[in-house]
Amino acid sequence: MLMRTDPFRELDRLAQQLTGGSTAGTWSRPNPMPMDAYRAGDEYVVVFDLPGIPRDAIELDVERNVLTVKAERRPPAVTEGVEMQVAERPLGAFSRQLFLGDTLDTQQISAEYDNGVLTVKIPVAAQAKPRKISITGSESEARQIDA
């Protein structure tokens, strides 16, 4: 089970939708690290869009069931005499945290980065997977039930 940590993200998203994407005069910030999360069999998959960020500028940590993704989009190298006309892409360091449930195996997390997309796979812990339990009794045959 994954839980998002930013309770104000939905408020920011709603404000941007209501104002046509611009909240002039407020502290609104763009969402530089959009993500999708889903369960596929015995693992959770979290996908982050990080276009224009080199692999060496991404840091992935897990501590006490909190997964932290940090990324830095650096400004492009501008030669002298070049004057920027439009600068809409957010620059700087970005961070996103996810609380991971106790049913996930944080020791087996894997990550892959390809074409500006970071894919993190978090397996379900073995002790959290369903298993069969044998029932014994005075009868001569044992029966199984699903746990």
Give per-residue pLDDT as tens, 39-77: 999 999 999 999 989 999 999 999 988 999 999 988 877
Sheet holding 66-73, edge to edge: 2-4, 92-100, 66-73, 58-63
Structural domain includes residue 56? yes
The pTM is what? 0.66
**In the numeric block, which tokens belong to residue 39?**
């369960």
Average pLDDT over residues 114-132: 86
Q: Is the pLDDT of residue 115 over 80?
A: yes
Structural domain includes residue 119? yes
Q: Is the pLDDT of residue 22 over 90?
A: no
Query: What is the average pLDDT value for the chain, to the nearest integer?
Result: 80
Structural domain includes residue 18? no
Q: Residue 13 in 3-state DSSP?
A: helix
Structural domain includes residue 107? yes
pLDDT at 26: 45
Structural domain includes residue 118? yes
Structural domain includes residue 132? yes
Phi, psi of 37 (to 5 degrees): -140, 135
Number of separate domains in the chain: 1
Structural domain includes residue 84? no
Structural domain includes residue 12? no
Please, are residues 72 and 53 in contact by the beta-carbon 8 Å criterion?
Answer: yes
Domain that holds residue 49: 2-6+30-75+89-146
Of 14-23, 86-95, 131-140, the least confident: 14-23
User: What's the CATH code of the domain at 105?
Assistant: 2.60.40.790
